[in-house]
Structure 1
Amino acid sequence: MRLPDLEAWAIFASVVEHRSFSAAADAIGLSKATVSKAITRLEAHLGQSLFHRTSRRLALTEAGKPLAEHAARILGEARLAEESANDAASAPTGRVRLAAPMSFGITNVAPLLAEFLAAHPGIEIDLHLSDARVDIVAEGFDVALRIAELPDSSLRARRLCSIQAHTVAAPAYLAAHGTPTHPAQLGEHRLIGYSNVVGPWRFQRPGESDVSVRLQGQLTANSGEAVVPALVAGLGIARLPHFIIEAQLASGALVTLLDDWAPAPIGLHLLTPPSPLRPARVEALIAFLGARLRDPG
């Protein structure tokens, strides 16, 4: 059986990444002629063109587009294998790209990173905070923290814990509009929504059927912290995780309601790309976050 031309596949991936034969050649330390010959060799073996070439532009053909994804995985796996072998003989070094939700990242993740970096002086952290759902593979993240119930995917996922959420409002709002005693009564109230959570609010209580409530109100935001001022001002009812409203609950600016109706649990997950091969620097951060975030509160 003929072995695949792994060098040509890796060069193909590099040309796609750098969008140029010359730039790819510079990046991997080969001559432009060597890069061109490798692509020609691969095209001859596959029996199809991989690129549309003009004097000003290089673009993947329709046949080349899906093959580029395979090539990127081949090159990525090879790089990870080499990094894993090198890491086994030395302390972890290099950059780790970490994505986390904005509010949770500020309150629960950022305070931990000083401890991690002090213990691992050779590691650099590139922390990306956003409540938007990032594409881990496409955007090049090594690790992501996500607060959600996850759909099936090729990502490797580890559930760290459940995040406690509360249904809350300001005392002034409840005094003016009444305090609901059953989730079904929320339909009569102004509800403040979090747009990154899709679907209705779901409530559970032992011995009773689950209740779902669809949102209706004046305000929806893609940041949990952004709706807190409206809540405190008495504009409605919201459901938010404890770490966002801890201070307001402690001060009495917000109070919980429907405490006997627990929201469906929300999991804090640690996600990584599909490959089981990970550099030691990534493994170190995963182990650290897994230990420290088991009970974030």
Structure 2
Amino acid sequence: MLKTTLGQWRMFRAVVEHGGFSQAGDAIHKSQSTIHHAVQKLEDSLGIKLLQVKGRKVGLTQAGELMLRRANYLLDEAAKLEAVATGLGAGTETQLKIAVDEVFPQNLLYRVLDTVSAQFPLLRIELMETVLSGAQELLEKARVDIALSPVPLANGFNEEFCQIEFLAVASPQHALHQQTQALSYEDLKSHRQIVVRDSASNSGKDVGWLGADQRWTVSHVRTSIDMISQGFGYAWLPVPAIEQELQSGLLKPLPLTQGVKRTAQLYLCFADGDRLGPAARTFIGEVRYQSESLLTAEQLSDSN
């Protein structure tokens, strides 16, 4: 027979998270006396002191810090267990939340979504477009079910499924294209670089070459493409996103002596496969299939 309950651990965690019994009660809609009694009973059952008063705030003892880490794992697993049961009881999920990095080929994504919707007509799909570690953050916070991200999940499933090629480009009218010789990184320093901001709330991550003396930082790849097409700067942009601009001549690859092309690995990520329903699994299967088809087509094109 267990000495403690999930409810006691949940109230203990609430006290720590909110800094006191009264604050915890307001947060989880319990009376202060109920929470105080639950934590005291928890301490009595375990024979250890979990909390101590520090001024006007309640803090953790050394034993409390260790037990909180264990309690967090226990409560998270209990929440997952309930979510799995809910999914099994419902059969097919009614909503699918997906985080997709903006460098992922849009046409491929649209085909995948269309296929999934055709098989699950009542499914509501919520798509969150992200940059760099934004998709990873949403998955870690359990705000999405699946992520297509250039940053793998620290604790979860990560599958390498697609490599995106980036090309250094500028408008044909840009000053960098008026030089008669090949360009070095040193030549780029005096010209404006357009950089796309990481969409994660707690990240200042920048990637790629960032040696320009002047930079404009934007929130979306599409904004960067528009700015560069109009001659306001240069950048390394994902090739699938600029195919039309390259074909129409709005953008032109920079004649760099090295580093004109780069690649980024994308990962298919999810936290817990047991929680994924039929629609989510169909989405994953279609992403794999469409990505393999794209890779095969590119290989055939290169060989010709």
Give the TM-score, by structure 1 length. Answer: 0.69
Match of 1:234 in 2: 231
Match of 1:251 in 2: 248
d(CA) in 2 for partners of 1:3 and 1:146? 41
Displacement of 1:17: 8.6
How many residue pairs get aligned? The number is 275
Gaps (5+ residues) in structure 2?
A: 199-204, 299-304
d(CA) in 1 for partners of 2:69 and 2:127? 26
1:5 aligns with 2:8: no
1:268 aligns with 2:266: yes
Is the 2:146–2:269 contact (alpha carbons within 8 Å) kept by the matching residues of 1? yes
Match of 2:42 in 1: 42
d(CA) in 2 for partners of 1:107 and 1:234? 26
d(CA) in 2 for partners of 1:51 and 1:288? 53
Relative to structure 2, which stretch is displaced further, 133-142 or 17-26?
Answer: 17-26
**SS of 1:171 mapped into structure 2:** coil
Give the TM-score, by structure 2 length. Answer: 0.68
Match of 1:145 in 2: 148
Is the 2:97–2:143 contact (alpha carbons within 8 Å) kept by the matching residues of 1? yes
- Percent identity of paired positions between Structure 1 and Structure 2: 21
Displacement of 1:264: 3.6
Is the 1:199–1:214 contact (alpha carbons within 8 Å) kept by the matching residues of 2? no
**SS of 1:219 mapped into structure 2:** strand
Map 1:162-173 onto structure 2 (within 5 A). Answer: 162-173=163-174
Q: Could you give the per-residue CA deviations for residues 204-243 of structure 1, whole angstroms, max 9, x where no partner exists? A: xxxxxxxxx7233353323222222332222332110013
Displacement of 1:185: 5.0
d(CA) in 2 for partners of 1:147 and 1:228? 20
1:192 aligns with 2:189: no
Two-structure CA RMSD over aligned residues (Å): 4.2
Match of 1:158 in 2: 159
More helix by share: 2
d(CA) in 2 for partners of 1:115 and 1:17? 43
Q: Could you give the per-residue CA deviations for residues 126-178 of structure 1, whole angstroms, max 9, x where no partner exists? A: 32223363323235332222235x5x833432221100111111111157631
d(CA) in 1 for partners of 2:216 and 2:26? 52
Match of 2:220 in 1: 223
Is the 1:200–1:215 contact (alpha carbons within 8 Å) kept by the matching residues of 2? no
Summarize the Cα distance change of 1:5–1:269 in structure 2 as closer, same or farther, 3 Å threshold: same
Displacement of 1:92: 2.4
Summarize the Cα distance change of 1:199–1:114 in structure 2 as closer, same or farther, 3 Å threshold: closer
Map 1:48-63 onto structure 2 (within 5 A). Answer: 48-50=49-51, 61-63=59-61
d(CA) in 1 for partners of 2:241 and 2:65? 43
Is the 1:169–1:231 contact (alpha carbons within 8 Å) kept by the matching residues of 2? yes
Match of 1:96 in 2: 96
d(CA) in 2 for partners of 1:287 and 1:84? 20
d(CA) in 2 for partners of 1:198 and 1:128? 20
Summarize the Cα distance change of 1:77–1:238 in structure 2 as closer, same or farther, 3 Å threshold: same
Displacement of 1:182: 4.9
**SS of 2:40 mapped into structure 1:** helix
Relative to structure 2, which stretch is displaced further, 257-266 or 247-256?
Answer: 257-266
Match of 1:80 in 2: 80
d(CA) in 1 for partners of 2:290 and 2:133? 23
**SS of 1:249 mapped into structure 2:** helix
d(CA) in 1 for partners of 2:96 and 2:47? 36
**SS of 2:244 mapped into structure 1:** helix
In the alignment, residue 216 of structure 2 is paired with which amino acid? L
d(CA) in 2 for partners of 1:9 and 1:109? 42
Is the 1:171–1:254 contact (alpha carbons within 8 Å) kept by the matching residues of 2? yes
In the alignment, residue 156 of structure 1 is paired with which amino acid? F
**SS of 1:153 mapped into structure 2:** coil
